[in-house]
Amino acid sequence: MSNDDIQILPFYLVADVSYSMQQDGKIDTLNQLLPQLRDELVRNPVVGDMVRFGLIDFSDEATVVLPLTDIRAIEVLPTLTVRGGTSYAQAFHALRQQIEVDYQQLRADGFTIKRTTAVFLSDGAPTDDEASWRQAYAMLTEFEGETGAGFRLFPNFIPIGIGDADRAILSDLRHRKTGDAAMPAMFMADGGNPAKAIAELIPLLIKSIVNSSLAQVGSGESDQGAAAQAMATTLANADGFDVELD
């Protein structure tokens, strides 16, 4: 029997696990996200029934640590560990591939899938060459509505810079940058403590997922833009971060 009417909201965290993420306990702090998100989704079944969460890490290569999942059902949540450099191209490739895989799986299960929101967290500049990560980014985000050319499942993409992240580059990775569903870029405020910034980011990310899901309830009331806006405006209130949002 068809499940077409059941809406799934996909969220991905794409996390930098280059060696520098070990400093100041950044990675350990980030590992608190999944258990805290799980607690919130258990507490609020309206949101829990809709949200699927996935985790991709990247250094010299990218790994799908957790494919899109109802994390309430997972007893032992995966944790991130550091390794190697910072290839943005690998991260973008992996995300694109995984979104397509998830989409096919969820469609096979009959569900209706809302647009993926991807939070991209990095603490440094890419170590791969600019041409290759820019091409990978274009393959992830570019879509021509009229011709259907490009990636129809492109995600809403929220870059977050911690520590030594390159603001100019990350700012350029926001997607989309304009319109109803414009996404923010977020940067740890100057002089901040990176681990503390991540600790502050976690409840904010959870709240933005909750608010985005609630805005989506009865999608007729609130278009795709409203869910995206709820995500963006929640994040825009971040203490300790500079938020860029048109």
Partner 1 sequence: MTDPAASGFIGADPVTFGDGGGASAIEGMPAMLGSQQPDTVMDAGVYGSLTVRAASVRGASHRYEGTPRQDDFCLAVSPDGRWFVVVVADGVSAGARSHVAARLIVRSGARMVADQLATADPAALAWDEIVGRLAGQVLLQARRDTGDDTLEARDAARLMASTVVFAAVPTVPDASGVRRMAALAVGDTSAWVLRQGGGWENLTGVKNAGEAVASSATIALPLLPGGPLVPVATDLLPGDAAVVVTDGVGDALGDGTGEVGAALAGLWRLPPSRHQFTAHVDFARRSHADDRTAVAVWIDASATQPAPPARVAAPPVEPTPAPDPGPGWDAP
Q: How far is the CB of 100 from partner 1 (least distance, A)?
A: 11
Segment holding 241, helix H or strand E:
strand 241-244
Q: How far is the CB of 107 from partner 1 (least distance, A)?
A: 9
Q: Are 87 and 71 a contacting pair, CB within 8 Å?
A: no
**The dihedral formed by the CA atoms of 91, 94, 99 and 105, expressed in degrees to the nearest 10:** -150
Question: Which one of residues 222, 233, 236, 244 is an interface residue with partner 1 (CB under 8 A)?
Answer: 222
Question: Which one of residues 14, 27, 30, 48 is an interface residue with partner 1 (CB under 8 A)?
Answer: 48
Residue 214, classed as helix, strand or coil, is helix
Name the token pair of 145: 């509505």
Q: Are 174 and 157 a contacting pair, CB within 8 Å?
A: yes
Q: Are 184 and 243 a contacting pair, CB within 8 Å?
A: yes
**18 closest CA partner among 115, 106, 88:** 88
Q: How far is the CB of 93 from partner 1 (least distance, A)?
A: 21
- CA 176 to chain CA centroid, Å, is 13
**By the rule CB under 8 A, 73 interacts with partner 1:** no
Query: Looking at 53-61, 128-136, 160-168, 219-227, which segment touches partner 1 (CB under 8 A)?
Result: 219-227
Q: Residue 213 and residue 153: Cα distance in Å, rounded?
A: 18
Show the CA angle centred on residue 197, arms to residues 193 and 202, nearest 5°: 155
Question: Which one of residues 22, 23, 32, 44 is an interface residue with partner 1 (CB under 8 A)?
Answer: 44
**By the rule CB under 8 A, 69 interacts with partner 1:** no
- DSSP-assigned beta bridge partners for residue 241: 188
Query: Looking at 110-118, 129-137, 186-194, 201-209, which segment touches partner 1 (CB under 8 A)?
Result: 110-118
**By the rule CB under 8 A, 115 interacts with partner 1:** yes
**By the rule CB under 8 A, 152 interacts with partner 1:** yes
Question: Which one of residues 77, 182, 214, 245 is an interface residue with partner 1 (CB under 8 A)?
Answer: 214
By C-beta, is 81 or 143 nearer to partner 1? 143
Query: Looking at 17-25, 46-54, 117-125, 192-200, which segment touches partner 1 (CB under 8 A)?
Result: 46-54
**98: alpha, beta or left? (left if phi > 0; alpha if psi -120 to 50):** alpha
Query: Looking at 56-64, 113-121, 125-133, 198-206, which segment touches partner 1 (CB under 8 A)?
Result: 113-121
**By the rule CB under 8 A, 164 interacts with partner 1:** no
Residues contributing to the site for partner 1 (CB under 8 A): 1-8, 44-46, 48-50, 112-115, 152-153, 214-215, 217-226
